[in-house]
Amino acid sequence: MYGERLPPPRLSKVEFFERAVIVVLVALTPVLIWFLFDVILVVIGAIVIATLLRLIAGPFATWGRLPQPIALTISGAIIVAAVGGTGYLFGTRIEAELSDVFERATAAAAGITTQLQSSDLGKVVLSHIQGGAGFSIPGLLTRLFSVSITFIGAFVVTIIGGFYLAAQPGLYRDGLAQLFPPAWRGNVDETVDDIGRALQLWLIGVLFQMAAIGVLSTLAVWLIGLPSPLALGVIAGLAEFIPYLGPLIAAVPAILVAVTKGGDATFWTLLAYLAIHQIEGNLIVPLIQRRMVYIPPAVMLLGVITILFLFGGISVIFAGPIAVMVFVAIKKLYVRDSLGEPTPLPGEP
């Protein structure tokens, strides 16, 4: 009869089981991410290493017309030579300066703690900072600069995994696509390519940014007269890999070292790092992001803070690439494909 509602089609047992499995997997995804986040960090690190290898190998394969395996071999040799050469030329000096920075920072932190304990207000501040009787600033610095066996093992696995991913990216991309229904696989391949292109552009920008901030910081602390300027510049450059929080992390050892040299050195160090931060935010970053990957600052900052609070301090190292991957995936899969809104992706005109 007209207007009579037909009963919904009954699912077969196989269809019901497949849909139930999908629901369970979707529900368990956040739990799996939580428990396997260390593994996810290793995978992301391997992806970053692979991106760097293919970035350097690109000119040899494109302009030099070398086979991809040879280009990747040359790329790996260049990276090893650069790291080894830097270690050979500056390793002893940097090691001595890093040791000096650590000793001075520990002494300055201990002095600040002693001064705070001498006043009632300082004791209140320490009680809120400490959060427990076993806390000490020197102990925190020791844990920060210590390297565990687990970390070394994860680092080695990350490097090896990066070489494998760089050598056969299509194999792993196709393997990932096979986890999805056949109708989705083309879109999965396209999304993986978009994310890879965005990561490559982001990495180019970050490397330029790290080099610029490292040089500026080295010159600044050298002009101020702080000891170990090369080590402080290396710390500042490496910290730039962490969006927004990196400059704060780099400023802490510099300020602690300046404290040991007196009030004038501390003032000029604070002023120098503030000026470098302004130059970075208003000149270097806009110039780089204009041609590389632009992510709204609030989005990147909230992403970094979210990752930090959810998964702990070590996760902040890869907060940048994680934010880039999530940002591009949302723009591609949701904004462009689901909503139908025209939105440019990194690397597109």
- Residue 218's pLDDT band (cuts 50, 70, 90): very high
Q: What is the pLDDT of residue 92?
A: 63
Distance CA 217, CA 312 (A): 28
Looking at per-residue pLDDT, the higher value among 102 and 41 belongs to 41
Residue type, 281: G
Q: Is residue 127 part of a domain?
A: yes
Q: What is the pLDDT of residue 15?
A: 62
Is the pLDDT assigned to residue 173 strictly greater than 70? yes
Q: What is the pLDDT of residue 17?
A: 64
Is the pLDDT assigned to residue 89 strictly greater than 70? no
Domain residues for 132?
A: 26-338
**Structural domain count of the chain:** 1
pLDDT tens-digit readout, 11-34: 666 666 656 766 676 676 667 667
- Is there a contact between 169 and 54 (Cβ–Cβ < 8 Å)? yes
Q: Is residue 2 part of a domain?
A: no
Give the CA-trace dihedral at 281, 287, 289, 292, to 10 degrees.
Answer: -150
Q: Is residue 326 part of a domain?
A: yes
Q: Is residue 6 part of a domain?
A: no
- CA triplet 288, 292, 297: central angle to 5 degrees? 70
Closest CA to 320 of 276, 288, 343: 288
Q: What is the pLDDT of residue 135?
A: 41
Q: Is residue 323 part of a domain?
A: yes
What pTM does this model have? 0.75
Q: Is residue 245 part of a domain?
A: yes
Q: Report CA 144 to chain centroid distance, whole Å.
A: 17
- Residue 130's pLDDT band (cuts 50, 70, 90): low
Q: Report CA 199 to chain centroid distance, whole Å.
A: 11
* Secondary structure of the chain in HEC code, one letter for each residue: CCCCCCCCCCCCHHHHHHHHHHHHHHHHHHHHHHHCHHHHHHHHHHHHHHHHHHHHHHHHHHCCCCCHHHHHHHHHHHHHHHHHHHHHHHHHHHHHHHHHHHHHHHHHHHHHHHHHHCCHHHHHHHHHHHCCCCCCHHHHHHHHHCCCHHHHHHHHHHHHHHHHHHHCHHHHHHHHHCCCCHHHHHHHHHHHHHHHHHHHHHHHHHHHHHHHHHHHHHHHHHHHCCCCHHHHHHHHHHHCCCCCHHHHHHHHHHHHHHHCCCHHHHHHHHHHHHHHHHHHHHHHHHHHHHHCCCCCHHHHHHHHHHHHHHHCHHHHHHHHHHHHHHHHHHHHHHHHHHCCCCCCCCCCC
Distance CA 280, CA 100 (A): 27
Longest Cα separation, the chain: 93
Average pLDDT over residues 99-117: 72
User: From residue 289, how far is each of 62, 72, 205, 207, 293 by CA, in Å?
Assistant: 25, 27, 7, 12, 5
Q: Is residue 19 part of a domain?
A: no
Q: Is residue 208 part of a domain?
A: yes
Least confident of 156-160, 270-274, 306-310: 306-310
